[in-house]
Amino acid sequence: MATSQINGVMRHLRRVLRPREIERTTDGKLLTDFLRHRDEGAFETIVRRHGGLVMGVCRRVLANTHDAEDAFQATFLVLIRKASSLASPDLLANWLYGVAYNTALKARAWTAKRRRREQHLTHLPDTEAAERNADERDLWNDLQPLLDQELSRLPDKYRVPIVLCDLEGKSRRQAAQRIGCPEGTVSGRLARARAMLAKRLTRRGLALAGGSLAFVLAENASAASVPSSVVITIVKAAGLHAAGQAATASMVSTKVAALAEGVLKSMMLTKCKIATAVLFIAAALGFSGHGFLQALADEPTQPIAKQEPQEPNGKPAQDDDVGKLTLPQGPMPTQALVSLDDAGQLVVRTREAAYKQFAQGQQLMVVDEIKTRQYKLGEVQVFDVRVEPIDPKQLPKMLAKEVAALIIRGRQPLDPLHFRLHKEGTLVFVIPLPPGPAPPAAAGGFGGGGFAVPLPPAGAVPVRNGVPVLPPPVAPQQALPSAPQRR
């Protein structure tokens, strides 16, 4: 009894002697005093400071006054239970707005369910609702059922300025102090929030500009009054909270206690769903990351496995003189100049050996000539020096001008050892063999890469064991007789 009298005296002194100091006290400080010192006066200050906001939400959602008062008390019962776990105590108004809206929705659902049962039993019309619908013809009555639906969907950074400035009537400077940001930032967010809310309401069939919306909210939303009996009841329930749930429930009706419990369970389920979703996403990201790293670890470090030449007995061939180094197999590549013509065909220029008779009756001689041949891109295979295939679609860009490349004739396996001394980026072209029978030199003899020395006419060169005996190469200028000079 003495404690109750002291708390009453303290509340009276706060109201009479220190109104300005109490107004400057933040919500976080008041909650701390209530939790640590069981100060009922601090909690009463919170109820009176934000009571109009909470009651306004409850009355907009619930048409019945008694239902709105029950939702009001249930909202502050939830605050009593959750006061120690609030993330941002100084933004208590925004938190209370959200809890009040959810509590009013739950109370409306319960009321609608009860009325359906009552109407099913009595078949009596709801005269109170009919009278209420007849009066809801002005702008505010049209706005009430939509305001909180759309306002609750705004992001926190935009909803908080409207709650503080338009619903609680605070100045922008006071809102900036509560939010903890410059006043100009609050002004910008408030203007943006009003525009967003007006746009959302317009989509719902209620055309309002941002300035008109602010005027309607200032005139109506913050005008809800809270009966003193309701405030005293919830403050006493807060003072008895330390004694346990039974003591708290004894101060409020069973309906209010059940409504508060329902809201607390819904909040717990929401947290569980969020935690489950976070764990699921974290597990999925961890599994994906592990799979990605495992895939990187499983990739071969070399794009093409090195193929060692095999001996007839199946063992890898070894060069006795060089140790582990091996010599390449197959035809040697030939250097060439490669380009693309206007028709999109591959133009290959190579230096080849040929027989040529420079004068009547003279012996045929082997000379070097530049041969130019054209191939369709579909007849040619292109590789890099690592024997990786090149996409033919890239050739127009790679052969924008004539480039030096390597040529191999015939469809046969390529040995990467042939290209180990060539620089990266060199192209290797596998082109088809010319039509007709291949001469003996086509197996990789003189004129490497399959370029054969053409045979001279029969009888022009002696043949030994089926192979022509070729004379030594002579430069063209040495074979030509000296022509008489004209003076």
Average pLDDT over residues 430-453: 53
Range of the domain at 111: 2-277
Q: Give yes or no: residues 209 and 91 share one domain.
A: yes
pLDDT value of position 449: 44
The answer as to whether 447 is a domain residue is no
Residue 379 tokens read as 């007849």
| Domain final residue, candidates 245, 277, 309 | 277
Q: Give yes or no: residues 269 and 334 share one domain.
A: no
Q: Give yes or no: residues 271 and 337 share one domain.
A: no
pLDDT value of position 337: 93
The answer as to whether 16 is a domain residue is yes
Tens of pLDDT, residues 59-104 = 888 878 888 888 999 998 899 888 888 888 888 889 999 998 999 8
**Which pLDDT band, with edges at 50, 70 and 90, does 17 fall under?**
very low
Tens of pLDDT, residues 230-283 = 888 888 887 777 555 555 556 778 888 888 888 888 888 887 888 888 888 877
d(CA 235, CA 80): 10
pLDDT value of position 43: 86
The answer as to whether 314 is a domain residue is no
The answer as to whether 106 is a domain residue is yes
Q: Give yes or no: residues 232 and 335 share one domain.
A: no
pLDDT value of position 15: 55
> DSSP characters for 180-218?
TS-HHHHHHHHHHHHHHHHHHHHHTT----HHHHHHHHH
Instruction: Say what angle helices 65-82 and 92-122 make with each other, to 10 degrees.
Output: 140
| Domain final residue, candidates 416, 433, 450 | 433
For residue 440, pLDDT over 60 is answered with no
pLDDT value of position 13: 55
Q: Give yes or no: residues 220 and 84 share one domain.
A: yes
For residue 328, pLDDT over 70 is answered with yes
Low-confidence winner among 107-111, 278-282, 354-358, 425-429 (lowest mean pLDDT): 354-358
The answer as to whether 116 is a domain residue is yes
pLDDT value of position 336: 92
Tens of pLDDT, residues 383-419 = 898 888 888 888 888 888 899 999 888 776 788 888 8
Instruction: Say what angle helices 40-61 and 92-122 make with each other, to 10 degrees.
Output: 50
More confident residue, 310 or 45: 45
Backbone angles phi, psi at 36, to 5 degrees: -85, -40
The answer as to whether 442 is a domain residue is no
Average pLDDT, the chain: 74
Percent of the chain with pLDDT over 90: 7
Q: Give yes or no: residues 103 and 193 share one domain.
A: yes
For residue 190, pLDDT over 50 is answered with yes
pLDDT value of position 126: 47
Q: Give yes or no: residues 28 and 137 share one domain.
A: yes
pLDDT value of position 21: 61
The one-letter amino acid at 61: V
Q: Give yes or no: residues 364 and 251 share one domain.
A: no
pLDDT value of position 425: 83
pLDDT value of position 348: 92
For residue 487, pLDDT over 50 is answered with no
For residue 479, pLDDT over 90 is answered with no
The answer as to whether 466 is a domain residue is no
Q: Give yes or no: residues 70 and 139 share one domain.
A: yes
Q: Give yes or no: residues 44 and 120 share one domain.
A: yes
According to DSSP, the β-strands at 428-431 and 403-409 are parallel
Q: Give yes or no: residues 90 and 163 share one domain.
A: yes
More confident residue, 400 or 20: 400
pLDDT value of position 439: 46
d(CA 200, CA 148): 11
For residue 20, pLDDT over 50 is answered with yes
Number of domains composing the chain: 2
Tens of pLDDT, residues 364-390 = 677 778 889 999 888 888 889 888 888
d(CA 387, CA 380): 14
The answer as to whether 42 is a domain residue is yes
| Domain final residue, candidates 242, 277, 312 | 277
Q: Give yes or no: residues 258 and 341 share one domain.
A: no
> DSSP characters for 386-431?
T--B--GGGHHHHTSS-EEEEEEESS-PPPGGGGTTSPTT--EEEE
